[in-house]
Copies of this chain bind each other. A is one copy, B any other.
Amino acid sequence: MRQDRIQNLIDALRVLPGVGPKSAQRLAFTLLQNEREGAQQLADAIDDALTHLRHCEKCYTLTDQALCQVCANPKRNEALLCVVQSPMDQLLIEQTMTYNGLYFVLMGKLNPLDGVGPQDIGMDALLKRAADGVVTEVILATHFTNEGELTAHYLGEQLIQKGLRVTRLAKGVPVGSELEQVDLGTLAQAMTGRRNTNM
Contacts and interface: CB of A to CB of B under 8 A. Distances in A.
A87 B29 contact: yes
Interface residues of A, number: 54
Given A3-B68, A31-B15, A49 B88 contact: no
Given A45-B12, A50-B32, A26 B88 contact: yes
A17 B42 CA distance: 13
A69 B2 CA distance: 6
Residue among A17, A25, A43, A63 with max Cβ neighbours from chain B (10 Å): A43
A116 interface: no
B43 A47 contact: yes
A3 to B, nearest CB: 6
Contacts of A102: none
